[in-house]
Structures are given as structure tokens and as C-alpha cells.
Amino acid sequence: MPSTMSRLGRVVLLGAIAASSAACATVTRGTSQAFTVTSEPSGASVRTSNGYTCDATPCTFRVRRNAEFDVTVTRPGYRVANAHIRSEISSNGGVALAGNAIVGGLIGVGVDAVTGAMNDLRPNPLHVVLAPEATTAAAASEASAVTSAPSPPPGRRIGR
């Protein structure tokens, strides 16, 4: 029959393991999160440097929390828009990390750091306002203004 101290030790150990797991960001938050891209106007194509694509905004991807990547948003008639997405420690992730450290879950701290579970992607959601390209009529009138500049008189030097 186990002694009272032995039982008490097991209860304390199980309690510490449970508390450490509850504080672990990997368990409570997961290693990925929803990342959303919206645009104005909507219906733009999205491509990320980590391989995600979407034919028309708004769109949402499930992305690892420790990913840093670039986003390119395109739509015919509008300039291409680019953005960089960062992975940063979030307030909720920091709390979970601190819980691991206090309870003694050094392994949990390491797991959270490696998986990025304590991080959030920023900015998220990413909202892009697309700028219209110059219209062809405006571009044509600019080109004609350049080509219709008066020519210098014959035999006269221009410049030095």
C-alpha cells in the first residue's frame, strides 16, 4: 500500500502536468491560424510567397503562426499591391508562455517557441485598397503631348 506522501506526490505531479498543459499555447491556441485578405474593390486575386492562392477576395487561409510571408494582390485595371506579413508574439501567446515558465513547463516553453503557437500573424486581416491604373486615354494624351512638342529650327544646335 503506497504511503500518503507517495499519493500526495503523484497528485501534485499530475496537477503540475495538467496545469502546464493548460498553459501551453500549442494546446490552447494551436500552431496555425486563419489569415484573411480583403480588398477594395473585392474580387482581386491573391498569391502568397508560401504557396497560397485565391482567385477572388475576400479569402481566408489557414497559415502556420510562425510563418512570415509576402502577399501580392492583383486585379485587372488596378496597380499590383504587395504586403509583408510578420509573425509576432501575441498578448495571449505571451500569457501562455509565462504560464509554462511559472508552472515549470520548460519543454512546453520550447515547443511553443519552435511551433510559433505563442505568435499571431500581423496584419490580420490584411485589407488592401487597390489603386486604379492610368487609363489608356490619359496615357495616350500624355504620349501625344510629348510627341507633338515643336521641333527646333533646322541647322540649330540643341544643348551645349
Q: Are strands 45-48 and 53-54 parallel, antiparallel or unpaired?
A: antiparallel
Percent of the chain with pLDDT over 90: 44
Rg of the chain in Å (alpha carbons):
29
Model confidence at 134, pLDDT cuts 50, 70, 90, reads confident
pLDDT digits (tens, 9 = 90+) for 139-151: 555 544 444 444 4
Note the pTM of the prediction, 2 decimals.
Answer: 0.61
CA–CA distance from 21 to each of 57, 99, 135 (Å)? 38, 9, 58
Which residue type occupies 130? L
Model confidence at 12, pLDDT cuts 50, 70, 90, reads low
Bridge partners (DSSP) listed for residue 89: 119
Judge whether 63 and 41 are in contact, CB under 8 Å: no
Provide the pLDDT for residue 9: 63
Handedness of CA 119, 120, 121, 123 (dihedral sign): negative
Mean pLDDT of 152-157: 52
Judge whether 146 and 127 are in contact, CB under 8 Å: no
The more confidently predicted of residues 22 and 47 is 47
Does the pLDDT of residue 87 top 90, yes or no? yes
Q: What average pLDDT is seen over the chain?
A: 75
